[in-house]
Amino acid sequence: MRDAFHRATSKPYTKMVSCATGLLLLALGLLACASAETEAPPLALPNTATSLPPSTPLPTQAAQIPEQRLLILEWPETIRVGDSDLILLTLEVDAEGNLTPTASIQGHQVKGEIFTVPNLYATHFVFAEGRLDISGLEVKPNPEIIESLQPGKRVKFAWSIRAEQVGNYRGMVWLHLVFKPKSGGIEERLALAAQRIDIRAVNLLGMSGNAARWMGVLGTLLGSLLSFDPIPALFGKLWKKKNECHPSRDQED
C-alpha cells in the first residue's frame, strides 16, 4: 500500500524534475545563442573607422574614369516584317552625376577628404565596344561597333535591324570598355553592361509593311475612282437644273 502510494507520488515528482531540468537547459542554450549573436557583429565587422589612425594612408585606388555615366538603350518592341528599325545604345555623360570624394569616418564625425583617383584617360586609350547578339534578324552595319571614349563626350551606337519572318526574337546588347595603355602593353576589357531585349516581328494578313502600304495606296485610288465617280455626275445634274431655271441666260450667252 505504501509502495503503491510512493510510486503514485514519485512519478509526477520525477516528471516535474525532468521538465524543470529540460527547461533550464533550454534557457541556458537560448542565452548562449543570444550572447553569441550579440557578440558576433563586432567580430565579423571590425570597426575600421576607429582602428584607422588619422595618419594612416588611404588604400591605393584602382585607376578609373572620373565621370558618372548614363547608359540608355532604346529598341522597338514590335517591328513590321520587311521594315527596318533602329536599336540605339547611348553612353551619355550624366549631368546629375554627383562625384563626391570618398570620406573617411573617424569616430562619429565625417570628414570629407579629397584624394586623387588615378585618371584612366591620362594613362590609357579608352574605347567603348557595343555588341548586338540577336539571331534571325538582319543587323547592319556590324554586330560589333567600337568607338573611342573621350572625357565628357557621349558615345552612341546604332544598329539597323530588319525582320524577314514573323516571330519573337530575343537578343543581348553588350557594352564593353577596352583600356589600351598609352605606354604600350596588353589591353584590358571590362564588361560594363549586358541587357536583354525582346523584339516581336508582325505582319498583317501575310503582308509585310511595304506590301500593306502599297496595297493601301492602290486601293485608295481605285476606291476613289469607283465611289467618287457620281460626284461629277452630281455636278452635271446641278448644272442642268440651273440651266433649266434660267434658260434665258444660256440663250444670251
Partner 1 sequence: MKRFSLRVWIGWVLILISLALLIWGFYPLEQKRRELRISPQDMQLPAIQEVIPHARCFS
> Site residues (CB under 8 A) for partner 1?
60-80, 85, 91, 94, 97, 99, 117, 120, 124, 177, 179, 188, 190, 192-193, 195, 197, 204, 207, 209-210, 212-213, 215-220, 222-230
Please provide the size of the chain in residues.
253
- 184 by DSSP, 3-state: which? coil
Comparing CB distances to partner 1, the nearer of 200 and 246 is 200
Q: Please, which residue, 37 or 77, has the CB nearer to partner 1?
A: 77
* Helix/strand/coil for 96: coil
The 10 Å Cβ neighbour count of residue 179 is: 19
Please report how close the Cβ of residue 75 comes to partner 1 at its closest, in angstroms.
Answer: 6
Classify the phi-psi angles of 134: left when phi > 0, otherwise alpha if psi is within -120 to 50, otherwise beta.
Answer: beta
Neighbours of 34 (CB within 10 A): 10
Residue 181: asked if its preceding bond is cis (omega within 30°), the reply is: no
> Whose Cβ is closer to partner 1: residue 11's or residue 170's?
170
Least distance in Å: CB of 127 to partner 1?
Answer: 12
Could you identify the residue written with the cell 533550454?
A: 26
Minimum distance from residue 253 beta carbon to partner 1 (Å): 31
For partner 1, the closer of residues 29 and 185 by Cβ is 185
Residue found under cell 563626391: 100
Q: What minimum distance in Å lies between the beta carbon of 226 and partner 1?
A: 3
Contact 201, 79 (CB under 8 A): yes
Q: How far is the CB of 32 from partner 1 (least distance, A)?
A: 34
Closest to partner 1 by CB, 92 or 136: 92
